[in-house]
A and B are shown apart, each in its own frame.
Chain A
Amino acid sequence: MAENHTTATNKTVPYSTGDSKITDTTIAELRELAGRYPVARSALLPMLHLVQSVEGRITPEGIEACADVLGLTGAEVSAVATFYTMYKRRPVGDYHVGVCTNTLCAVMGGDLIFERLKQHLDVGNDETTEDGKITLEHLECNAACDYAPVMMVNWEFFDDMTPESATQLVDDLREGTEVKSPRGATICTWREAERVLAGFPDGRADEGPTGGKATLAGLRLARERNWTAPASNHSGGSPELRDTVSPEAASGPRPGDQPGKESGTGSPATPDSRKED
């Protein structure tokens, strides 16, 4: 299984392709990011995310732009960029497709899914399909182990995957079919995702549910069996204190049971789920 962890290095990385897309607007946004922090250099990671959103990878021009804005040398910025796995020196496709192959997901099927996708897409780890659509990469634990085996598309969750659902997913992405994360938004491009990570919101936070089935597993059971935390008889607080574990909360509206079902489209909040003011 060790070959999962090797990265194809036989393809040369273009140092500069001479078609950098960094404009004055980019520079202004880099400066804006630097201005958000008490010390400008703290913005370097977000700035590199912004470079990727503009350039599709970390380019020499992007490194120089960050260095200029922060008063660092290019070497200092490069040293940072090469430390973090999310920064890519090779161009990334429209969709970055990750398969978790850390132990739990691997055992639950992640290894087989990753093998299947390599064959199906005819690429190795960290390589991009010829049509430039998909970059495939194996991932370390993505903090979604209760949904193993887990895949990520442009850093959005895809839960409880199988080799079949995985190949269907990449086929849909390549064909341009609209794809939604079961616990996130409609999939945007990798560059658009990088812009959000840089700190420029895209207004999609309200898409998707509160959580999937596993997220709510314990809460569901507690509701069914009427289990709550102990009641508080705390008197030091504000008089309008609500009992955080009031039984009424149990009758509040719930999102659908199926992961991916929009919780926001259910019935409006019933009066008894509202707190008395």
Chain B
Amino acid sequence: MLTPVLSDNWDQIRSWQLASYQRSGGYDALKTALRMQPADVVTAVKDSGLRGRGGAGFPTGMKWSFIPQDNPNPKYLVVNADESEPGTCKDIPLMLASPHTLVEGVIISAYAIRASTAFIYVRGEVLHVVRRLQQAVEEAKAAGFIGTDILGTGYDLDVIVHAGAGAYICGEETALLDSLEGRRGQPRLRPPFPAVAGLYGCPTVINNVESIASVPAIINNGPDWFASMGTEKSKGMTLYSLSGHVTRPGQYEAPLGITLRQLLDLAGGVREGHTLKFWTPGGSSTPLLTGEHLDVPLDYEGVGAAGSMLGTKALQIFDDTTCVVRSVLRWTEFYKHESCGKCTPCREGTWWLVQILERMEAGKGSEEDLETLLDLSDNITGRSFCALADGATAPITSSIQHFKDEYLAHFTNGGCPFDPMASTLFATAGASA
């Protein structure tokens, strides 16, 4: 049922250190990869069926093959470790417990695309993760895995750990590149795609932490092994993160295609005495699902068919004590705050969405406001410069679809009918604020 691969060494003593990582087979894959032709490493990753774990699910090997090897400019690998999508909490624990899994993946992936410099762009708000990454890169340098003439192969690579400074939009890959160039993090027009003109205008691959961390296991065990897990078009194992009103929240590594019913069962179910109300399959930017969707296979196709997206596999679980209007308002405030301001529908639209939702939560809205919300959302989605804006409307439209009555109840009740204490972790302890 569960298939720990990325998380397999997390219970080893000092799993973040090189010695511990090597005791569990770490850097064997690097040695194997460096005996292969770079193009064969790309082929292996292609054959495995690995799809990007940062949200969009783009095939990783295919992305690598877009790097024009006849381009005379340097090539770059950039790891997206900005993990900021609300609900998403998988890359951070991975890097804390086993930064070398990522570092080994970085070296192999950089070798595959023939990059001479790789960057790990990690959000700044996670001090201890930055420490562990810095140390892992230093250890790998001292061991001769990073530097010049790596393991006598003539391959040179520098790896730079780069801390961001607090901006959700910098997780968007082209905004990340601008930020990494020392600018305001605002998305770039595509094309050109980063594979052709990315960092400093040079060919660049950007991948999520989990995508890159999956590479050593693929090289070690073979593409067929990886593809033996998962479903037809969604291969391999992945980290599912359960949070919220669930008995044992946390990281559950399973083959793609497991269902929420199965995961909840493993995690001890919804909080005792309560029932599932709504959940996100992959962060707040993926439309909300409900108890009707417990048996949806959590792979790219299954969640898509249910009207949402697999996203980052951040399963935020909310039980019957949660007000959906309050939840959606808070997410909308987040998107308003994080809108980079580059384009009008998002910058102005998210502001108006908050205004209307605030009124509604206070019980001062009307049914007409619901129509306005849907109309606004329709004008924002697909008409903005980047996917942040699409994400902003996802909780709104999906919550109105599933919980229209609850919006109406705020009007008839003259305010929120829920007790904010009832939904808290400490509700049962009888604590009060």
Contact = CB atoms under 8 A, between A and B. Distances in A.
A211 B242 CA distance: 15
A144 B127 CA distance: 13
A146 interface: yes
A199 B14 CA distance: 23
Nearest to B15: A210
B13 A152 contact: no
A45 to B, nearest CB: 5
A112 B420 contact: yes
A77 B267 CA distance: 48
Contact of B125 (A109, A139, A275): A139
Contacts of B254: 218
Interface in B144-198: 160-168, 179-185
Interface residues of B, number: 122
A210 B14 contact: yes
Interface string B324-357: 0011011101100110000000000000001000
A215 B249 CA distance: 9
Given A141-B87, A238-B31, A206 B17 contact: yes
Given A83-B184, A112-B421, A230-B225, A1 B334 contact: no
Given A104-B86, A104-B244, A145-B244, A215 B93 contact: yes
Interface string A192-220: 01001111011011111011011111111
Interface stretch (B50-58, B371-379, B425-433): B425-433
Contacts, number: 375
A121 interface: no
The 8 closest A-B pairs by CB, nearest first: A217-B250, A234-B222, A44-B182, A214-B250, A232-B221, A218-B252, A112-B433, A84-B165
Contacts of A202: 131
Interface residues of A, number: 116
Contact of B23 (A43, A220, A229, A273): A273
B128 A183 contact: yes
Nearest to B16: A210
Contact of A213 (B125, B165, B250): B250
Contact of A41 (B17, B182, B330): B182
A249 interface: yes
B293 interface: no
A84 B166 contact: yes
A229 B5 contact: yes
B254 to A, nearest CB: 8
B327 A107 contact: yes
Interface stretch (B60-68, B303-311, B314-322, B385-393): B314-322
A5 B162 CA distance: 28
B243 A148 contact: yes
The residue among A36, A41, A145, A148 with the most chain B CB atoms within 10 A of its own CB is A145
Interface string B407-431: 0000000000000110111100101
B85 interface: yes
A111 interface: yes
Interface in A92-106: 98, 101-104, 106
Interface stretch (A12-20, A160-168, A170-178): A160-168
